[in-house]
Chain A
Amino acid sequence: MILIRRRLQFFFHEIRRTLIAERIPQYKERSALLPGGLNTPFPIVVEPDIDLELLFKSHEQLQENLQQRHWIVDVKKVEHDYQVWKNLNKQIAEATARRTRPEELHQWSEQLYSLNAKFLVACLRLPAPLHGAVPETGTRKLLYEYGSQRKSSLTMRSWRDLAEVTSLDVAPFSSFAFGEFAQLEYILLNYFNKSLDAYNIQMCSTVNIVKSFVIEAFGYHFSDIKNVFNIVAENDDDENNVELLHLFGTSTPLGIVSPFIRTNFPKDILPYYVYSIGRNYNPHSGQSSCIELLAFSNEHSQHLLLDDHHKAGDERAKNFEDMLKKSISSSGTINPNEVNLKSNSIDFIYIQLATIITSFYHRLNLPLRVCLSPTYELLSYESLRLTIEVYLPSQIDYVRVGSVSLIDDYLARRLMIKHNSDNKSYVAMIHARVADVSQLSKCVLEASQTIGRGIKLPSVLVNR
């Protein structure tokens, strides 16, 4: 009986799902970034521009990149499509010059059109090239460690006991926090806010909800209802006119990049730094409060593994890693007035940002470690990621509270972020999660507990 009921439930659920999918025409489309056809429900907002020649320059590097990221892609098939695509383009160009019969031209154009829909969309989804400093082994590479881990003891209480936190079925993606624990979140946000202001980094408050083409540029799929919070906004006048939007949060790279999509940076403004404070929504990790930073520059990374000349772990990449290590090690004594944020070298900016952000945690006097993430942990738009982790005694482990990711021009090419009014000058970008305050507040709470005297916050948090 129970089995029949479950089957029936599943059956009705499937019917309901199909009916919804029917009503939302966007779900039938292949791509929002490169929409095809006349009746596509996605408007064309940007023109993605991938450097295909560079992408297919080295078969080995592409294969290696995909393998290390644990992606299963038939590289040979994509490369074959690339050759066909190239030939077709060549034939059309020649035919146009020769003024060939329109029927023949039309036939080639149709072939190219259908290939574009598959091949170019597939290329858009390929991951960013790896940075030379990405650990070759499948494990994290420890760059820096600070403070001693306080072991759990009988007198030590977990953040769950110290904080007033409740999880309810009314909101499965987040818990309710009360009183001082809720206030601690705002104290921490204020601390990072002030710390960033000391570096004259600009604050920005932007949108939490973005359109489908934006999430596609970041490697998410708009119909993936298990990994993305989709919003279906129905038009009051026309039931068939539905708009598909996605909830990610202002404190995600998607939210913070949104005011810069399809824009041109003026000549002298780069490098430019901007940060935002706000929500971060994720179906798996729930709702959290984060501070995100984005850096824009006009110089690209020198250490990306684009062709066979560049190799992982080569001398230049090693130098970069040593510089990064050295700079982070000195983060405890950093002076905001002495930090150079004017350089346009994206690799240098990466080192500076990693150092600045680590210094914020130093001042909190928490046991922390800084690691380089292995390739399989990288998201499709990341070329290199450094993670900052703080020790959480009740978990007997470090938890990730911050990160610095090199994006280079991966997103700029997909979302048309340019500089110099030049058609091909795409900006290079770095995204940093300055702090995941929801996670960090647990660490601060456990580290600040005293025996019988409540919570004693670090001195930097006491003065507002």
Chain B
Amino acid sequence: MYRVKYLLNLSIRFHSTLTPKFNPWYDYRAYLDQVKTYINRLNPYIELDLRSAALNWDYILNNENLQTIANNIKQRKENESVDIEHILTLHRDIQNLFHRIEDKKLDSIQGEDQIKLKIQDLYNHAIRIPNNTHPDIPIGNQEQARTLRVVGKKPETNIPRQTIDQIGQELNLMQLENMGHVSFRGAYALFGDFARLERALMYYAFEKLTQNGFKMVSVPDIIHRGIIESCGFATRGKRSQVYQLDYGEEFGRYCLAGTAEMPLAGLLKHNTFRKDELPLKLAACSRCYRAELPGGKGEGNLYRVHEFTKVEMFAVTTNDEKVSQEMHDEIVRIETSMYEDLGLHFRILDMPTEELGLSAYRKYDIETWMPAKEFYGEISSASNCTDFQSRRLHIKYINDNGDEQFVHTLNGTAMAIPRMLTAIIELNWNPETKQIQIPKPLRSLMGNREFISKSSSTPSTQWIKFLS
């Protein structure tokens, strides 16, 4: 039908002496190119050299994909607010405006202003559309997570075990009480061997990652909000976990990174790789800041904290789904090997749709057994973001035909320190000897010692209870 109309149109043009009229319905390709040009001209972050996201407009604005996109949004509970029908309505409005300008029913200057506003609106809505979902992953909430593998043996649950803060207080190596008066609620300080164990875990992760071909990067913790948003995290609004800085000219222009994935992705913005440069494997250790909601008593005091140290993996592959899936598996293999060597009991889960963030196409979580609170707690998460982040940050590669394609990006937690500390300390604590056995791989990083025991060098300072 379209072709017939097009031919008819051509014939009219052929005989007509007037310049051919642009019709957004008939000349859909030309119209879409115009829309893309308008979108490219949008400048989402004035002070940041980052062009507007190159979303897959052909796919998003195609009526045939309406149901698929709508279903995907519905399955991912977090993004219910995005309405694909509204996006398509805006798209039709824009088409109408183009048409009315061509038909001289609308003043061209006035019409262009209206188009610009509609396109801005369309862009703002489309940017919130989540990534596609891998067809094999379970649909639903956390309960539906599919266990892929269980490693190690679950410790006996009938023995009451002490929590990390009880052990920390007993050994005089941790301060939790009253730290909320000087910093965030739930802040903590580690002393002596607990602080050393924290660093040992970090160095252990570095060693493992460099052995596996990851390149170390030292990253900034304060980054522009544009990068955080391009990675699929909201910086504003009630559900945001991002801390905004009130520094300098604009409130919230710079934010604190919640994970090293953000600065690493930002580092690669507007980069085009040769195919032989991929896969690119980067690793970074950063201080992560998150406006987390306080956890329940069942999770322990070091489970949801506002600031913590984390070692993160970040990988870039070609846009071949098989290749990025292989990299995803490799990230999980490295994580598994590290945690297995540390003697932890854990399970690997294929996370269901409602647990995926905006950017993830597929996500594997690793949950370890937290002996004192007796639950499986997430210690690691590995996501394949396909081209979600690369389209927003313009990270490309040149394929064999010489064409530029968007890369696939992946990320995974190598070591989330406070949760790892909790699991290791609670698991290896011997209440009779009052000692913690240091896992073998960490001993060389802890002065070749086998145990952590009570320290006399930490002063048992007392909080001054009453003010005059």
**A178→B293 contact, CB < 8 A:** no
Residues of chain A within 8 A of B189, CB atoms compared: 204-207, 258-259
Tell me whether B249 is interfacial, beta carbon within 8 Å: yes
Tell me whether B223 is interfacial, beta carbon within 8 Å: yes
Interface class of chain A by DSSP:
mixed
Among the stretches A271-279, A365-373, A379-387, A399-407, the one at the interface with B is A271-279
Q: How far is the CA of A210 from the CA of B455 in the complex (A)?
A: 27
CB contact under 8 A between A260 and B461, given known A204-B191, A247-B245: yes
Tell me whether A4 is interfacial, beta carbon within 8 Å: no
Interface residue ranges of A187-214 to B (CB < 8 Å): 190, 193, 197, 200, 202-211, 214
Tell me whether B224 is interfacial, beta carbon within 8 Å: yes
Give the Cβ gap from B162 to chain A, nearest Cβ, in Å. Answer: 21
Mark interface residues in A73-103 (1 if CB within 8 Å of B CB, else 0).
Answer: 0000000000000000000000000000000
Residues of chain A within 8 A of B263, CB atoms compared: 170-171, 176
Among the stretches B1-9, B13-21, B198-206, the one at the interface with A is B198-206
Q: How far is the CA of A230 from the CA of B293 in the complex (A)?
A: 20
Give the Cβ gap from A93 to chain B, nearest Cβ, in Å. Answer: 16
Among the stretches B70-78, B214-222, B338-346, the one at the interface with A is B214-222
Interface residue ranges of A221-236 to B (CB < 8 Å): 225-226, 228-233, 236
Residues of chain A within 8 A of B206, CB atoms compared: 183, 186
Q: How far is the CA of A197 from the CA of B445 in the complex (A)?
A: 13
Tell me whether A458 is interfacial, beta carbon within 8 Å: no
Q: How far is the CA of A24 from the CA of B244 in the complex (A)?
A: 14
CB contact under 8 A between A236 and B251, given known A47-B468, A171-B224: no
Q: How far is the CA of A181 from the CA of B218 in the complex (A)?
A: 9
Residues of chain A within 8 A of B254, CB atoms compared: 172-173
Q: How far is the CA of A172 from the CA of B48 in the complex (A)?
A: 10
Among the stretches B151-159, B177-185, B317-325, the one at the interface with A is B177-185
Residues of chain A within 8 A of B184, CB atoms compared: 207, 209, 233, 245
Q: How far is the CA of A266 from the CA of B226 in the complex (A)?
A: 50
Give the Cβ gap from A88 to chain B, nearest Cβ, in Å. Answer: 19
Tell me whether B460 is interfacial, beta carbon within 8 Å: yes
Residues of chain A within 8 A of B238, CB atoms compared: 236
Give the Cβ gap from A266 to chain B, nearest Cβ, in Å. Answer: 6
Q: How far is the CA of A229 from the CA of B226 in the complex (A)?
A: 18
Tell me whether B170 is interfacial, beta carbon within 8 Å: no
Tell me whether B250 is interfacial, beta carbon within 8 Å: yes
Q: How far is the CA of A171 from the CA of B247 in the complex (A)?
A: 13
Q: How far is the CA of A208 from the CA of B305 in the complex (A)?
A: 13
CB contact under 8 A between A207 and B183, given known A166-B267, A230-B247: yes
**A182→B217 contact, CB < 8 A:** yes
Residues of chain A within 8 A of B191, CB atoms compared: 202-205, 274
Tell me whether A334 is interfacial, beta carbon within 8 Å: no
Interface residue ranges of A271-310 to B (CB < 8 Å): 272, 274, 276-279, 281, 283, 286-287, 289
Interface residue ranges of B227-283 to A (CB < 8 Å): 227, 238, 243-251, 254, 256, 263, 266-267, 269
Beta-carbon nearest neighbor of A49 in chain B: B468
Beta-carbon nearest neighbor of A257 in chain B: B182
Tell me whether B101 is interfacial, beta carbon within 8 Å: no
Q: How far is the CA of A181 from the CA of B198 in the complex (A)?
A: 22
Residues of chain B within 8 A of A203, CB atoms compared: 191-192, 195-196
**A230→B458 contact, CB < 8 A:** no
CB contact under 8 A between A171 and B222, given known A178-B215, A226-B248, A230-B245: yes
**B251→A232 contact, CB < 8 A:** yes
**B267→A176 contact, CB < 8 A:** yes
**A45→B461 contact, CB < 8 A:** no
Mark interface residues in B185-197 (1 if CB within 8 Å of A CB, else 0).
Answer: 0010111101110
**B203→A16 contact, CB < 8 A:** no
Mark interface residues in A18-30 (1 if CB within 8 Å of B CB, else 0).
Answer: 0010001000000
Beta-carbon nearest neighbor of A204 in chain B: B191
Q: How far is the CA of A148 from the CA of B272 in the complex (A)?
A: 45
Residues of chain B within 8 A of A266, CB atoms compared: 459-462
Q: How far is the CA of A104 from the CA of B223 in the complex (A)?
A: 57
| Interface residues contributed by chain B, number (CB under 8 Å) | 69
Give the Cβ gap from B256 to chain A, nearest Cβ, in Å. Answer: 7
Tell me whether A13 is interfacial, beta carbon within 8 Å: yes
Looking at the complex, which one of A182, A261, A269 makes contact with B181 (CB distance below 8 Å)? A261
Give the Cβ gap from B255 to chain A, nearest Cβ, in Å. Answer: 10
- Place the interface of chain A in its size category: 35 or more
**A205→B195 contact, CB < 8 A:** yes
Interface residue ranges of B366-384 to A (CB < 8 Å): none
Beta-carbon nearest neighbor of A416 in chain B: B464
**A176→B199 contact, CB < 8 A:** no
Looking at the complex, which one of A178, A265, A269 makes contact with B217 (CB distance below 8 Å)? A178
Tell me whether A54 is interfacial, beta carbon within 8 Å: no
Looking at the complex, which one of B182, B195, B256, B455 makes contact with A207 (CB distance below 8 Å)? B182
Residues of chain B within 8 A of A210, CB atoms compared: 182-183
**B218→A185 contact, CB < 8 A:** yes
Give the Cβ gap from B194 to chain A, nearest Cβ, in Å. Answer: 8
Residues of chain B within 8 A of A150, CB atoms compared: none
Q: How far is the CA of A77 from the CA of B198 in the complex (A)?
A: 52
Give the Cβ gap from A276 to chain B, nearest Cβ, in Å. Answer: 8
Tell me whether A158 is interfacial, beta carbon within 8 Å: no
CB contact under 8 A between A169 and B224, given known A207-B184, A226-B248, A279-B287: yes
Tell me whether A142 is interfacial, beta carbon within 8 Å: no
Q: How far is the CA of A228 from the CA of B245 in the complex (A)?
A: 10
Residues of chain A within 8 A of B68, CB atoms compared: none
Beta-carbon nearest neighbor of A185 in chain B: B218
Give the Cβ gap from A288 to chain B, nearest Cβ, in Å. Answer: 10
**B246→A20 contact, CB < 8 A:** yes
Give the Cβ gap from B258 to chain A, nearest Cβ, in Å. Answer: 13
Tell me whether A263 is interfacial, beta carbon within 8 Å: yes
Tell me whether B211 is interfacial, beta carbon within 8 Å: no
**A193→B199 contact, CB < 8 A:** yes
**B218→A281 contact, CB < 8 A:** no
Tell me whether B467 is interfacial, beta carbon within 8 Å: yes
Tell me whether A439 is interfacial, beta carbon within 8 Å: no
**A225→B247 contact, CB < 8 A:** yes
Tell me whether B47 is interfacial, beta carbon within 8 Å: yes
CB contact under 8 A between A13 and B249, given known A173-B220, A233-B291: yes
Beta-carbon nearest neighbor of A279 in chain B: B287
Beta-carbon nearest neighbor of A180 in chain B: B216
**B467→A179 contact, CB < 8 A:** no
Tell me whether A264 is interfacial, beta carbon within 8 Å: yes
Looking at the complex, which one of A171, A207, A225 makes contact with B179 (CB distance below 8 Å)? A207
Give the Cβ gap from B49 to chain A, nearest Cβ, in Å. Answer: 6
CB contact under 8 A between A287 and B293, given known A205-B190, A230-B245, A266-B459: no
Q: How far is the CA of A264 from the CA of B215 in the complex (A)?
A: 46
Q: How far is the CA of A423 from the CA of B254 in the complex (A)?
A: 43
Tell me whether B401 is interfacial, beta carbon within 8 Å: no
Give the Cβ gap from A154 to chain B, nearest Cβ, in Å. Answer: 30
Of A193, A259, A279, most B-chain CB atoms within 10 Å:
A259
Residues of chain A within 8 A of B248, CB atoms compared: 225-226, 283
Chain A to chain B: the 5 pairs with minimum beta-carbon distance, closest first:
A174-B220, A171-B220, A170-B266, A263-B461, A177-B218
A-B contacts, 8 of them at CB < 8 A, read A24-B246, A169-B49, A170-B48, A170-B263, A208-B289, A226-B247, A228-B247, A266-B460
Residues of chain B having any CB pair with chain A under 8 Å: 47-49, 175, 178-179, 181-184, 187, 189-192, 194-196, 198-199, 203, 206, 210, 215-224, 226-227, 238, 243-251, 254, 256, 263, 266-267, 269, 287, 289, 291, 293, 306-307, 447, 455, 457-464, 467-468
